[in-house]
A and B are shown apart, each in its own frame.
Chain A
Amino acid sequence: MPQPSQIPDAEATLVALAERMRPAVAFDAAFVGIYSGGAWIADRLAQMIPGEHPVGHIDVSFYRDDFARSGLKSGAKRSALPFDVEGATIILVDDVLYTGRSVRAAINELFDYGRPARVELAVLVDRGGRELPVEATYCGVRLAVARNLSLVLAKDEERLSFGVERAADA
């Protein structure tokens, strides 16, 4: 396990991410957070970045590429995109960018709601290890994390923090 000093401070990273996004994000861009960590971050970013930003949440359980291998995980949430996806500028938001598979699944799901004009990606942490050609448009911090560990975002009251767990498939 890495030392606590190596685990990023989620709140400070969120502030840094919002700083980077502020000059670039369209005034009416919609934020779509991927459950569960990405959904919390999308809620926060929509408050921190000036503009009129509708917020949606997406659960990619029905679009995952490992269904045949691991079945359906319990606790799937209902996706909710309370705005018209057709022609919208959408910023997908996730806590950790790793293999890129969740982002692939989320993009597929988005297109079942309509054809967005533009899709960008904002992540708190990019830990490398991509298995698909996916890159973040906005990133809070880049960090190397060993393959057998996973970074897990938690929310206590409104405060976000990262923890480290053994990866489920390690």
Chain B
Amino acid sequence: MPDLVRNPQLNADGELTHLLTLEGLPAPVITNILDTAMPFVGIAEREVKKVPLLRGKAVFNLFFENSTRTRTTFEIAAKRLSADVINLNIGVSSTTKGETLLDTVDNLVAMDADIFVVRHAQSGAPHLIAAHLNAHGRSHVHVVNAGDGRHSHPTQGLLDLYTIRHYKKEFHNLTVAIVGDVLHSRVARSLIHGLTTLGTPEVRVVGPKTLLPSKVESLGVRVFHDMREGLKGCDVVVMLRLQNERMNGALLPSAGEYFKHYGLTPDKLALARPDVIVMHPGPMNRGVEIDSAVADGERAVILPQVTFGIAVRMAVMSIIAGN
């Protein structure tokens, strides 16, 4: 297939070589990542929490945008695979001196980078890097998108899918509600694509009109503006972080007002199924999108999500490095 048509994440044999987005990724590729993550969960319970798969490989964490948690979990994942990890806080170095993104990448390839983990405020930056590497005969260097603009955060989507599968076993009988600021959320987009690809019959988005993208229905979701309606009968509730800066943009009246309508409280959660699980990508704003009684309650699986996230990132890096 000509490179212009081919999914840039897959090689000529249809194997995953970069992870850029869950959109358009075939279900068997996603399922293989989730299956591979399962044995990696066990590594964390051992005396030596390391396997030698990526020994001698260099993973460059290229964070053009701040993130402590995602960068740390990628770093732990790479170290548990025995890779060398180099963290670059690009925001305060090269680019401020005027170097272009692709010049930075070429320089790091000259330092023998094997995997780039990229976070960037611009949607599409990881695609640009992957296309550049593919076009210049450096397809042995792999790219993992760790969040680009409002577009995509595929490893977060995958760890959400892993968590749902861990507790619910299957997707084909689930009702999943994603609640809050869907408009600015790359986490929500990735999860919606993943859930629909794996055959989830009902994915709902719940939030005020100002925080839902227009024509969001085209992603194959049902839209609810009333949270109580949206939570009825749900198996899974995914709360999104309300970014404080949204308050300034006149999208919302106040945090208190938001919590009244869209904060997850025990009485709203009672409308979901009794065995519902509550997820949150973190960091949480207690008392804004989620009540502490729910966040610390028995239905919350927010901390297991973090643990599974390391295993999922180990699976992604070891799969792409081998293709």
Contact = CB atoms under 8 A, between A and B. Distances in A.
Interface of A: 59, 61-63, 67-68, 70-72, 74-80, 85-86, 108-109, 111-114
Contact of A74 (B35, B42, B43): B35
A112 B46 contact: yes
Contact of B47 (A67, A75, A113): A113
Interface stretch (B68-76, B169-177, B265-273, B315-323): B315-323
A112 B42 contact: no
A112 B53 contact: no
Nearest to A59: B39
Contacts of B321: 71
Contacts of A80: 42
27 contacts: A62-B39, A62-B40, A62-B43, A62-B51, A62-B53, A62-B318, A63-B51, A67-B53, A67-B322, A70-B322, A71-B15, A71-B319, A71-B323, A72-B36, A72-B319, A72-B322, A74-B32, A76-B39, A78-B41, A78-B42, A79-B39, A80-B42, A112-B46, A112-B47, A112-B48, A112-B51, A113-B46
Contact of B36 (A76, A79, A112): A76
A79 B322 contact: no
B38 interface: yes
B137 interface: no
Interface residues of B, number: 22
Given A62-B52, A112-B47, A112-B48, A79 B319 contact: no
B322 A112 contact: no
Interface of B: 15, 32, 35-36, 38-43, 46-48, 50-53, 318-319, 321-323
B213 to A, nearest CB: 35
Contacts of A74: 32, 35-36
A113 to B, nearest CB: 6
Nearest to A66: B322
A82 to B, nearest CB: 11
Given A67-B53, A67-B322, A72-B322, A61 B46 contact: no
Contacts of B40: 62
Nearest to B32: A74
Contact of A72 (B38, B50, B53): B53
Nearest to B48: A112
Contacts of A109: 51
A114 B47 CA distance: 7
Nearest to A80: B42
A111 B46 CA distance: 10
A79 B50 contact: no
Given A70-B322, A71-B321, 20 more contacts: A61-B39, A62-B39, A62-B43, A62-B51, A62-B52, A63-B52, A67-B322, A71-B15, A71-B319, A74-B35, A76-B35, A76-B39, A77-B39, A78-B38, A79-B39, A79-B42, A85-B47, A109-B51, A113-B47, A113-B48
Contacts of B51: 62-63, 109, 112
B26 to A, nearest CB: 13
B322 A75 contact: no
B52 A75 contact: no
A39 B10 CA distance: 34
A29 to B, nearest CB: 20
Contacts of B323: 71
A68 B50 CA distance: 18
A109 B42 CA distance: 12
**A-B pairs with lowest CB-CB distance, top 10:** A71-B322, A112-B48, A62-B51, A78-B39, A72-B322, A78-B42, A74-B32, A76-B39, A72-B318, A62-B53
A13 to B, nearest CB: 29
A108 B53 CA distance: 12
A85 B45 CA distance: 13
A28 B50 CA distance: 28
A65 B317 CA distance: 17
A160 B201 CA distance: 41
Given A71-B322, A113-B46, A114-B47, A108 B39 contact: no
Nearest to B42: A78
